[in-house]
Structure 1
Amino acid sequence: MEMNNLHSIIRPYKPTDKSAIVSLFRFGILEHIYPAFFKAMSHQDHIGVTLSVSVAGYVLGGSSYFQAFLFGGAWACLVYYCCHEIYQSHLNRKLELEMADIQANFLDNQDNKFWVLETEMYGRTKVSGMLAVVGAKADVLNADNAAEVFQLIVSFQKRRKGLGTQLVEKAIEFCKEQGLSCLAVEVSSPQTAAISLFRKLGFIETSVHNNTHSNHLFSKLARINVIRMEKHL
């Protein structure tokens, strides 16, 4: 592929990619904190709470605008903390489990696959994306011949060039070659671009839940849901 002097290839993961992939993975998870925070704070319920606590601060502070701002800011900080903890805990869990040993968890298992997107522009080569597929567990997908997208990430500078679509299509092709009948993915509700991408590729929403593997109160205050999408092959 070539776009404005940008060349890209999708290839299997190599051990020498570990540092770049972990850095990309960390960014790809934590970048959702701010969108999640702004999405939560723009919800009518949170707008109401923000106004209420600000008014309470104004009254309790003896008509103090500073106290009103302080109370409202404290509420916003609490919501941001919840968003941060949800994605940070998710990142920590993945780094300790699947990403701790990519060789054993992906390369040594024929049911799993790990691809790296490598781009070259003006002679400079860089790891710019990743996608991994995990062989299904029947109790997770309720199907014996299905797989799940572990993580899709494209670096911020290389987006809107069709690279994410190419990675997903690579995964779909792999699943078909393996004789699988379904590919599933879970994304958090603030990931609107990813949701749109999967929809365009034929994935449909099958369920929504708020189990972020973090404190239930955090999920409730952050108003983050997990959307499950599946594509039948």
Structure 2
Amino acid sequence: ISPFQFSIREYRPTDQHVVMSLFRDGILEHVYPAFFKAMGNPDHVGIALSVCMAGYVLGGSSYFQALLFGSAWAGLIYYCCLDIYEGYMMRRLSTDMANVQASYLENPDNGFWVAEADINGQSKVVGMVALAQDAGEGGYGEMSHLIVVFPWRRKNLGSQLTRKALDFCKERGFARLVLDVSAPQTAAISLYQKFGFVQTASHCDTHANRWFAKLAKINVIAFRSSYTKQIL
């Protein structure tokens, strides 16, 4: 039996500090997985080898120069990945996350929830999820900011937060629930597939510099649930 008890409740203004911290950490943790995924791309492997060879030759058969050139290439890829996730984080912090109360709770068709864990009698926020209505196609919900603190993952909490968003869509009569996720977020993708979400698109539009996006090779995957009324 898990020693942790979870509850999901609506966001409160007093949660602002911890929610902002969760959001920052939850977004930036994807930088390293994105970096390693990009460096493992066959195109980048070939370029890295060529760069190292160029350093070796230009340095007069210097292994140090080869390593230096290769490190510079890896540093560039890492910077591109960091720029994309950090840019996304800053945009959201200056828009909807700047005032969660106004962005979500003052609209009855939007929602923002946090997950609390009861740890030795102390309540701690360990996860969150947001949902906003989109009036297109008869009205549907768009889920975002699904984040669970690392030590409390693999305890079914991500599933409970996703279920909360789906239940909210059912209550509001939304046609479906949609979301975007970046390809390096493999755990999140597996979770959504478990709930029956299907991929509807894949693109590289990260709103970052297009050359950074090309080098980082981060795909954004759009998912859509089946019609909410049918799956709940």
TM-score, L = length of structure 1: 0.96
Q: Does 2:110 align with 1:112?
A: yes
* Alpha-carbon distance in structure 2 between the residues aligned to 1:124 and 1:41: 42
1:179 CA displacement? 0.6
Q: Does 2:225 align with 1:227?
A: no
* Alpha-carbon distance in structure 1 between the residues aligned to 2:12 and 2:165: 17
1:122 CA displacement? 1.9
Superposition CA RMSD, Å: 0.8
Q: Deviations over 1:24-60 (max 9, x none)?
A: 0000100000000001101111111110000000000
* Alpha-carbon distance in structure 1 between the residues aligned to 2:130 and 2:53: 49
Query: Equivalent residue of 1:89, what SS?
Result: helix
* Alpha-carbon distance in structure 1 between the residues aligned to 2:114 and 2:203: 30
Q: Deviations over 1:82-107 (max 9, x none)?
A: 00000000000000000001111001
* Alpha-carbon distance in structure 2 between the residues aligned to 1:71 and 1:204: 42
* Alpha-carbon distance in structure 1 between the residues aligned to 2:157 and 2:144: 17
1:94-133 counterparts in 2 under 5 A? 94-133=92-131
**Residue number in structure 1 paired with 2:167:** 173
**Residue number in structure 2 paired with 1:39:** 37
* Alpha-carbon distance in structure 2 between the residues aligned to 1:62 and 1:25: 48
* Alpha-carbon distance in structure 1 between the residues aligned to 2:59 and 2:138: 62
Counterpart AA for 2:207: H
Q: Does 2:56 align with 1:62?
A: no
**Residue number in structure 1 paired with 2:81:** 83
* Alpha-carbon distance in structure 2 between the residues aligned to 1:117 and 1:91: 21
TM-score, L = length of structure 2: 0.96
Q: Does 2:177 align with 1:183?
A: yes
Aligned-pair identity in percent equals 53
Counterpart AA for 1:220: K
Counterpart AA for 1:26: R
Query: Equivalent residue of 2:145, what SS?
Result: strand
Counterpart AA for 1:136: D
* Alpha-carbon distance in structure 1 between the residues aligned to 2:118 and 2:189: 27
Counterpart AA for 2:105: L
1:137 CA displacement? 3.8
Counterpart AA for 2:218: I
| Aligned residue pair count | 227
1:124 CA displacement? 2.5
**Residue number in structure 2 paired with 1:135:** 133
* Alpha-carbon distance in structure 1 between the residues aligned to 2:54 and 2:43: 16
* Alpha-carbon distance in structure 1 between the residues aligned to 2:26 and 2:193: 20
**Residue number in structure 1 paired with 2:190:** 196
1:181 CA displacement? 1.1
Among candidates 46, 51, 54, match of residue 53 of structure 1: 51
Counterpart AA for 1:185: L
Counterpart AA for 1:184: V
The runs of at least 4 aligned residues of structure 1 exceeding 4 Å deviation read none
Counterpart AA for 1:33: V
Q: Does 2:142 align with 1:148?
A: yes
* Alpha-carbon distance in structure 1 between the residues aligned to 2:173 and 2:192: 21
The answer for unaligned runs of 5 or more in structure 2 is none
Query: Equivalent residue of 1:38, what SS?
Result: helix
